[in-house]
């Protein structure tokens, strides 16, 4: 044993200690600064965070009254952001974009109630770009600096210009770090729209298209509502705060919260205060001790606050930690006092809205009480059932030390023992859980939430996700529907989407529901194996590997070996996020596809039957 210890090559001595420069640290650990890397297929991938970091600085200029237009272009994966603000001081330009903890937002009066406060954002963009340039124009002079992978290459000075003041940042993300990536312009467009909602009067031109907002958060809520509200949205504004409140007909709570123009997707102290303030104000207005859940069920709301020196819980700024809106002013008291006055005034001035709101609260209360007995019995059932042995193969990591959802935690909802077995053997037991459905779940369209507790399958799934009481208790960051690539698998996928849309829409609204894309074909020869997710990819694979390549059509997840499956739920995993907006008539879609068997749907099936027959015929030829 002593000899074995002496031959250990993992020596921990002075030579093992390294000191990294800020540039080296960002490139080695990019996730600490921009979250996950990704390939651009998801809205929270790092390439969009980099765009946001640059644009935030331009927004800060607008907030400070400098420049009413920002231009953003993406062409051939190169991003350019040009604002017409004051321009970075020319002599400090290089340091401002390359030296960590350098900037004009550490005290003083140059910036107040802005987002980019820690001197990291644009530097991280520089360090993580294969090419990066910054150009500042001030009073007829300009200074441009050029970088490659965060190392300055050259600079250029100009004078005698008539160009408007401002800053232009141009960058190309480094594929050495991010791998192959592409921009989904819809994600960037939504980012741009959010900026305009939060900054009325600002115009952003994105790839030649102009975006602006006249009504602020009211435009945002109208844009994102997938159903007609029960009453006209309540829009209230004050110094450093703006809110919009409405109620729909469904379940759950939906919030859009912002701090200094930054979308805080995980909420924070301002959103918590907002939820509390609504309950307190409504109770006092009606002089009724309503249950908070009855007041907030089906709420659709947005809140924006401006905070002096905001404190976020991570560099990606998705959750606010500040307890004060400004020194000496409590965040909670500020929000509660604002709604206590202005929401109360609004309800007094609009009795028809107050009447509709109270009717909705009473309906929520009646339903909650009607199913309370069923809930209690369902909880007991869920406790008695051994989830770990019967339905759920849980993972080890759910939340971080700060009690936030761990980015990598996910649960696969699968059909049958065969598919569940493949995923269970292939998964990462630290971060990936598996929930096995027993056949096709119930079509719950048009049913009340009582069915969630009466149906064992739904009850156990709800218990596994831990979303009965509050979405804040969700145990997994990604809820992934993983079904076979056939007609039955598609039907189960629709049934599960219906379940979430009907009873837990917040899982979708907050970006937690995904569909796993598994390969349809395997094309291989003696030297190489390619997995194809579409007919187009299959044809490209055949062209690459030759006509004599072996082609296999995967029809079920259980047909894919655990070793192969590991490829599809690891780094190469393809996930499609389920999203809903105002352009998605949810009730109409569900009624058409999941409602009673109408003549219209029969006609739709007949019209599309030819496509299904062609696919079956093609599968037979491949097999």
Q: What pTM, to 2 d.p., does this model score?
A: 0.70
Q: For residue 203, what pLDDT band results from cuts at 50, 70 and 90?
A: very high
Let me know if domain 372-518+554-584 sits in CATH 3.40.50.670. Answer: yes
DSSP state of 119: S
CA angle 283, 289, 295 (to 5 degrees): 60
Query: Residue 620's pLDDT is what?
Result: 46
Bridge partners for 137 per DSSP: 142, 166
Given a cut of 70, is residue 176 above it in pLDDT?
yes
The better pLDDT of the pair 23, 376 is held by 23
Span 436-453, mean pLDDT?
Answer: 84
Helix axes 372-384, 351-370, angle to 10 degrees: 50
Bridge partners for 551 per DSSP: 523
Span 229-249, mean pLDDT?
Answer: 93
Q: How far is CA 132 from CA 46, 83, 205, in A?
A: 16, 17, 21
pLDDT digits (tens, 9 = 90+) for 300-340: 999 999 888 788 776 566 788 888 888 888 999 999 999 99
190 three-state secondary structure: helix
What is the spatial distance between Cα 118 and Cα 295, in angstroms, rounded to a whole number?
Answer: 38
pLDDT digits (tens, 9 = 90+) for 279-311: 999 999 999 999 999 999 989 999 999 888 788
Sheet of strand 550-553: strand arrangement: 529-532, 521-524, 550-553
Tokens of 162: 């008539």
Task: State which CATH number among 3.90.1260.10, 3.40.920.10, 3.30.230.10, 3.30.413.10 fits the domain covering 217-367.
Answer: 3.30.230.10
Question: Nearest-CA neighbor of 361 among 290, 300, 302?
Answer: 290
Query: Residue 152's pLDDT is what?
Result: 92
The better pLDDT of the pair 386, 250 is held by 250
Given a cut of 90, is residue 218 above it in pLDDT?
yes
The better pLDDT of the pair 388, 246 is held by 246
What is the spatial distance between Cα 370 and Cα 366, in angstroms, rounded to a whole number?
Answer: 6
319 three-state secondary structure: coil
Which of these ranges, 183-187, 255-259, 402-406, 510-514, has the smallest mean pLDDT?
402-406
Asked if residues 402 and 313 have their Cβ atoms less than 8 Å apart, the reply is: yes
Bridge partners for 176 per DSSP: none
Span 481-504, mean pLDDT?
Answer: 87
Q: Pairing relation of β-strands 513-517 and 478-482?
A: parallel
- Domain locations along the chain: 23-211, 217-367, 372-518+554-584
What is the spatial distance between Cα 557 and Cα 427, in angstroms, rounded to a whole number?
Answer: 13
What is the spatial distance between Cα 252 and Cα 233, in angstroms, rounded to a whole number?
Answer: 17
Given a cut of 70, is residue 4 above it in pLDDT?
no
Question: Nearest-CA neighbor of 150 among 167, 175, 132?
Answer: 132
Q: For residue 148, what pLDDT band results from cuts at 50, 70 and 90?
A: very high
What is the spatial distance between Cα 288 and Cα 290, in angstroms, rounded to a whole number?
Answer: 6
Q: Which residue has the tokens 């305009």?
A: 196
Asked if residues 263 and 194 have their Cβ atoms less than 8 Å apart, the reply is: yes
Given a cut of 50, is residue 204 above it in pLDDT?
yes
The better pLDDT of the pair 118, 283 is held by 283
Q: How far is CA 272 from CA 278, 317, 343, 381, in A?
A: 10, 16, 17, 32
What is the spatial distance between Cα 71 and Cα 425, in angstroms, rounded to a whole number?
Answer: 49
Asked if residues 120 and 315 have their Cβ atoms less than 8 Å apart, the reply is: yes
Q: For residue 384, what pLDDT band results from cuts at 50, 70 and 90?
A: low
Let me know if domain 23-211 sits in CATH 3.30.565.10. Answer: yes
Given a cut of 60, is residue 111 above it in pLDDT?
no
Query: Residue 5's pLDDT is what?
Result: 45
Q: For residue 506, what pLDDT band results from cuts at 50, 70 and 90?
A: confident
The better pLDDT of the pair 396, 582 is held by 396
């Amino acid at each position: 044993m002593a000899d074995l210890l002496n031959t250990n090559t993992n020596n921990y001595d002075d030579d093992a200690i390294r000191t990294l420069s800020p540039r080296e640290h960002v490139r080695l650990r990019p996730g600490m600064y921009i979250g996950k890397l990704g390939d651009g297929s998801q809205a929270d991938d790092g390439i969009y965070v980099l765009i946001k970091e640059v644009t935030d600085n331009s927004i800060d200029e607008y907030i400070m009254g400098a420049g009413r237009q920002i231009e953003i272009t993406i062409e051939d994966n190169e991003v350019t952001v040009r604002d017409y603000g004051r321009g970075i001081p020319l002599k400090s330009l290089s340091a401002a974009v390359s030296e960590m903890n350098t900037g004009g937002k550490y005290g003083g009066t140059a910036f107040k109630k802005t987002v980019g406060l820690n001197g990291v954002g644009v530097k991280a963009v520089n360090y993580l770009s294969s090419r990066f340039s910054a150009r500042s124009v001030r009073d007829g002079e300009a200074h441009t600096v050029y970088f490659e992978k965060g190392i300055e290459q050259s600079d250029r000075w100009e004078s005698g210009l008539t160009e408007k003041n401002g800053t232009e940042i141009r960058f190309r993300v480094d594929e050495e770090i991010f791998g192959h990536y592409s921009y989904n312009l819809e994600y960037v467009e939504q980012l741009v729209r959010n900026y305009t909602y939060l900054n009325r009067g600002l115009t952003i031109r994105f790839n030649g298209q102009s975006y602006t907002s006249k009504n602020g958060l009211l435009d945002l809520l109208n844009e994102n509502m997938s159903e007609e509200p029960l009453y006209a949205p309540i829009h209230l504004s004050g110094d450093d705060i703006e809110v919009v409140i409405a109620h729909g007909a469904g379940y759950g709570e939906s919030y859009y919260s912002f701090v200094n123009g930054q979308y805080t997707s995980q909420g924070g102290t301002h959103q918590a205060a907002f939820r509390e303030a609504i309950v307190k104000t409504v109770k006092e207005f009606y002089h009724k001790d309503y249950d908070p859940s009855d007041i907030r069920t089906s709420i659709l709301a947005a809140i924006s606050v401006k905070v002096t020196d905001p404190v976020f819980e991570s560099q990606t700024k998705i959750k606010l930690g500040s307890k004060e809106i400004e020194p000496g002013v409590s965040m909670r008291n500020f929000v509660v006092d604002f709604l206590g006055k202005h929401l109360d005034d609004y309800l007094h001035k609009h009795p028809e809205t107050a009447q509709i709101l109270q009717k909705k609260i009473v309906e929520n209360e009646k339903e909650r009480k009607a199913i309370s007995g069923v809930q209690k019995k369902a909880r007991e059932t869920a406790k008695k059932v051994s989830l770990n042995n019967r339905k759920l193969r849980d993972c080890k990591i759910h939340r971080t030390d700060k009690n936030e959802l761990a980015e990598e935690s996910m649960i696969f909802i699968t059909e049958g023992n065969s598919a569940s077995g493949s995923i269970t053997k292939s998964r990462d037991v630290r971060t990936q859980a598996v929930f096995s459905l027993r056949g096709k779940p119930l079509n719950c369209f048009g049913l009340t939430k009582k069915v969630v507790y009466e149906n064992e399958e739904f009850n156990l799934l709800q218990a596994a996700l831990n979303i009965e009481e509050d979405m804040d208790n969700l145990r997994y960051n990604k809820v992934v529907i993983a079904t076979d690539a056939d007609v039955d698998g598609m039907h189960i996928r629709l049934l599960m989407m219906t379940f979430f849309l009907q009873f837990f829409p917040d899982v979708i609204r907050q970006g937690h529901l995904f569909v796993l894309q598994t390969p349809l074909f395997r094309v291989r020869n003696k030297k190489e194996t390619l997995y194809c997710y579409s007919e187009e990819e299959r044809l490209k694979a055949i062209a690459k590997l030759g006509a004599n390549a072996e082609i296999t059509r995967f029809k079920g997840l259980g047909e894919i070996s655990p070793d192969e499956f590991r490829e599809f739920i690891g780094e190469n995993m393809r996930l499609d996020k389920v999203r809903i907006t105002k352009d998605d008539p949810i009730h109409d879609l569900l009624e058409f596809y999941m409602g009673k068997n109408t003549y219209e749907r029969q006609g739709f099936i007949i019209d599309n039957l030819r496509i299904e027959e062609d696919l079956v015929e093609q599968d037979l030829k491949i097999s």
